[in-house]
Amino acid sequence: MAGLCIGLAPTALATPSVLATTGMIGDMVDTIGGSCVNTRVLMGPGIDPHLYRAAASDVRAFQEAALVTYNGFGLEGQLDSVLTRFGERRPTLAVAEAARREGPRGVIRSAGSDAVDPHIWMDARLWAQGIAPTTEALAAVAPKCASGMRERASTLREQLHALDDWIMARINSIPSSQRILLTAHDAFRYFGRAYGIEVRGIQGISTSSEASVADIQSIAGLIAERDIPALFVETTINPRPVDAVVAAARERGADVSIGGSIYGDALGESGALGDRHVGMLIHNTAEITRALGGSVKPLPASLTQWQAELDMMLEADR
């Protein structure tokens, strides 16, 4: 919000407080930092970061933070000015922007502009490129824990690389003619590039824009033309545009349904498979794979802690 006033001096805390804007950033911070940092997330489950406005209640969180971590590339929308001002006074890390500098996987730019698609967490291996800069930023505020942080970072990197391979295999199990992901907004281009699935969004990269009648009719025509069996609702997006596309496609004689709810810009509620970043991508992949005619296989050994939750999800949806 305009005029949000943030003091210069952080509140002295025994354990450094690290503020993360989104659940995906917070999950990385919490996984690497462990008990050595107190992780606080501004935007919880179901909160759309594109539309988030800083509130007066956020002032204390900023004041107490020894480090502020955020996505960057404009994801946080109206919070960007607050983050810019805060970065002039206190350590900050834009995780997605730092991940780009780590390489080798690069970012996706919007056609005809320099704007970068901010949704890099949809590519597990690209997201893993943010681990090293996040670890170093955390070690700077809790130096006595640096060794343990680097060990946890190594484990997380291994998990994300194994997840990357698992997702690729699951998407490849979908018949090639049905390998197209239709969603409410264009948050899945990194997923599409990494795993070889065509992606179309009814809206653009940001949810601040509204889907037009032409957008809805265009996607409906695509469904009818290519006999696409399903499209997907995102947990942070109003489902009306998706419902409108389904209705328009059925008017054209298409046999299409909503394939399930997937996570786009926020993690799931506590206790859900998607309440952590790895689980979010497992959930999304399972929903997409099943709805488009592929097969969901067991997770690799490094991801077995999520297997029971995946089994419960699959069983509940039968």
Rounded Cα gap, residues 63 and 236, in angstroms: 28
Q: What is the pLDDT of residue 3?
A: 44
Q: Where are the domains positioned within the chain?
A: 17-161, 162-316
- Residue 254: closest CA among 226, 228, 224: 224
In terms of phi and psi (left: phi > 0; alpha: psi -120 to 50; beta: otherwise), the region of 271 is: left
- Position 11 pLDDT exceeds 60: no
Alpha helices, DSSP H only, in 12-145?
A: 23-33, 59-64, 80-87, 95-102, 124-128, 131-141
pLDDT band at 186 (very low <50, low <70, confident <90, very high): confident
- Which pTM was predicted? 0.91
Write the DSSP string, 228-265.
--EEEEETTS-SHHHHHHHHHHHHTT---EEEEEE-SS
Angle between helices 277-291 and 307-316 (to 10 degrees): 40
At residue 271, the pLDDT reads 94
pLDDT at 210 (0 to 100): 67
Output the furthest CA–CA distance in the chain (Å, rounded).
64
Q: Measure the CA–CA gap between 173 and 84, rounded to whole angstroms.
A: 44
DSSP 302: G
- With beta carbons less than 8 A apart as the criterion, state whether 200 and 225 touch: no
More confident residue, 9 or 137: 137
* Predicted local confidence at residue 106, as pLDDT: 94
120 vs 122: CA distance, rounded Å: 5
Which tens digit of pLDDT belongs to each residue from 59-105?
889 889 999 999 999 999 888 888 888 888 889 999 999 999 998 99
162-316 CATH pick, 2.40.30.10, 3.40.50.1980, 3.40.50.300, 1.10.150.20: 3.40.50.1980
Contact 95, 71 (CB under 8 A): yes
- Same fold yes or no, 17-161 and 162-316: yes
CB 264 within 8 Å of CB 293: no
Name the DSSP letter for residue 203. S
pLDDT recorded at residue 8: 46
* CATH superfamily name and code, 17-161: Nitrogenase molybdenum iron protein domain (3.40.50.1980)
pLDDT at 13: 56
Q: What is the pLDDT of residues 196-206, one digit of tens each?
A: 999 998 875 55
The pLDDT confidence band at residue 1, using thresholds 50, 70 and 90, is very low
Q: Which two tokens stand for residue 110?
A: 């919007």
C-alpha torsion angle, residues 13, 139, 125, 34 (rounded to 10): -50
- With H, G, I as helix, E, B as strand and everything else as coil, classify residue 40: strand
